[in-house]
Amino acid sequence: MRSTFAFTLGALLVLASPAFAQPTPWAQPGETAIDPYAVDNANAGAEPLAEGAVFEAFGGVEGVSRIIDDLVDRSVIDPRLEEIFKPTDLVRLRRTLKEQVCFILGGPCAYTGRDMASSHKDLGVTTAEFNALVENLQGAMDAAGVPFRAQNRLLAKLAPMKGDVVER
């Protein structure tokens, strides 16, 4: 019933707005369009966790969404990071980060963003800045009450991405 409704609504939207006939991950409504790229879960840069317990500990899709919003909120006012995030399309960043973390934690999400190397190319991110972001993530997870061990399960997935994110 619900899916029929969604389908009908989707079909109507397609008919109503031919320009957005197929809203693509690189040209989402409300986001700045970027160059097309190949969409693939592998772009998330890590295999998803097999068991669901950690995703539960994060509070599911809702919990992840709140944690990522908090992470982005902290980072854009963080004196160590604010410069880097000034030109960023935060609508897109929030969406893709939520997808990525949900996917990595084994949640029911697909990652539709770019891979980590191309996302961070030429940003000149340093190790210190990488760790600053991790600290903000720890702060957001603490605030959401995610147990320390569950936090580290996610951090263990993100840590190896340093090679693709950090350029100097």
CA 72 to chain centre: 10
Side-chain-facing half-sphere of 79: CA atoms under 13 Å: 0
Query: Quick one: 1 or 97, whose CB is closer to ligand HEM?
Result: 97
Among 68, 120, 141, 151, binds ligand HEM (CB under 6 A): 120
Please tell me whether residue 134 binds another protein under the rule CB under 8 A.
yes
Residue 4, both tokens: 């029929």
Cα–Cα distance for residue pair 24/123, rounded to 1 Å = 24
148-158 vs 90-104: helix crossing angle, rounded to 10 = 110
Q: Which residues bind another protein (CB under 8 A)?
A: 46, 79-80, 126-128, 131-132, 134-135, 138, 148-149, 152-153, 155-157, 159-160, 162-163, 168
Q: Which residues bind ligand HEM (CB under 6 A)?
A: 81, 84-85, 88-89, 92-93, 96-97, 100, 113-114, 119-120, 123, 125, 129-130, 133, 158, 161, 165
